[in-house]
Structure 1
């Protein structure tokens, strides 16, 4: 009988784990949020991941539980562990990806460089932070934000009144995270995989381009990255993975500041948009590596297949019909570009797929990837 991997969440990350699982001879099962999910090919159960009984029943059908997202309540994850289910990453690590304030506190204990920050519960506290940081700051909800959601740049404490009101109405209380507005040159991401027995493997540090809070493009490796920058990024990610006990893929999002520092922005403990290029540009993709890691199998080589890989997200998609309706022109125009679709209906700003071009020349890869994304109807 094959090993059964259970993925909670039916999004595109679970979808892209399916081919890797098939190639490794694994049985992959998915607890999807709804019918017709991106990962419907492997969806064996549809249910609410906020419901303990639903999650426990799903876990009883697999050998290891992992995730498409970080939103499963910590209390449910601890119930799974208490009942002897293998959960990777486990709640002791995942809590720091689920709660940004906990993450900031723990990284501070580890001496990791970050933006200056504070946990605030009132307009007065927020106003004090703004005054000390030039009148501008980034405000974040501590839990639940992604793709630009739960994040806003503020210049007046009154701009947070709605979020603070929600905190006041929440019986569990809580706080908002406010951070300095970092003067950064660009955004980077460092992916690392770690297995329970301790082996780690890293991909090259990459540059990410955000538009409207959503990752739009990724250049691998980060253009112009010095050997020192690459070493620092790798050491930061390795330290975090080891000290937090992460198992699986960890993405560390970084700011490269104008004064040549690297500051940790966010953490994701699962395959990540900044690693999609690895499907076509690395000997081992982040999806195969994640499965290897959570099963404590030897990790694969992460050497690049070409000097440059460029990943462009397809955002929005065609005005009518489905993404596949535009395949003909796109594939004929750039036959060397790889297209990955997510089985989602097009909608403005929605990630419906991505394309990757690999090349010996960066400009060539950028041109070809952007061309195909545009032909597929992306909101570039």
Structure 2
């Protein structure tokens, strides 16, 4: 992009109508602004308004960093690599305090910190990230809000600024939902607190247990496992080896419970249950091989691993491979099961075998003089 003479100013930003793009977006997150900024840049070019075009090109660059990866994976290196000139950065530094959209303000301030190590911009980014997280909070569609909280947390720790404020916000969210959010917001927030060696592990170990038990009662095995593992880490932080081992065992046992549940409720029961048993064996062996575990915990885990292995062998002997063949032969497949990916795979294998036989016959015929 060519240099603008005289350089862009705050007035150019204000007069550009950038807020129309933000207002038109249902979700107030930078990723949602990309198309709008690009469109405005084209419109300005068609009108011959070079300064307005330049404003939107810069804003597009700022938002476009999300492209090519999940926005939760963005880090300081990604922000530092954005192609912005010194002139662009000076313009962004001037407008940053006056950006009314918290998500865009946080992004701009974070970029300037990453490229220029401007401490005041880093502080502005932390505050804006928290404000943006509050605006984006949604227990179902949780990733946008969590992404802002995570960036605020890591940046605050880096510059040693308002870490307590970020932790306080995390605690408020956890207290508000009490683990009853339907997805993984509370789980991920607790993991952030664990990184900070938070000083109240008993409180959140109890919360993790509550959610794990509730998840098991609803047959949500992965969710239950996550929270048992989170509980185990809380006990490790408080150096409670006994409860840590117990929570780790409960996490591993969810694989056994999942296998048992699958046998009763899935048309491909033994296939899916065998996978769960294999994971159970890995989990129990991991416990038995961990140095910090007590001898009693290692012994229990070893026994459980052996039991799971015997059960797996039993499944393989009595119900070799997927149970699909038996269900199909006896007319036990319903419409949903008949249209399943596993059934499609079976038809593909059968077709391939038939085609292979046909190709082989042709080769034999051609080779026969």
What TM-score do the two structures reach when normalised by structure 1? Answer: 0.22
With a CA cutoff of 8 Å and minimum separation of 6, indicate the structure with the bigger relative contact order: 1
Query: Which structure's residues are more often helix, by fraction?
Result: 2
From the CA coordinates, give the structure whose radius of gyration is larger: 2
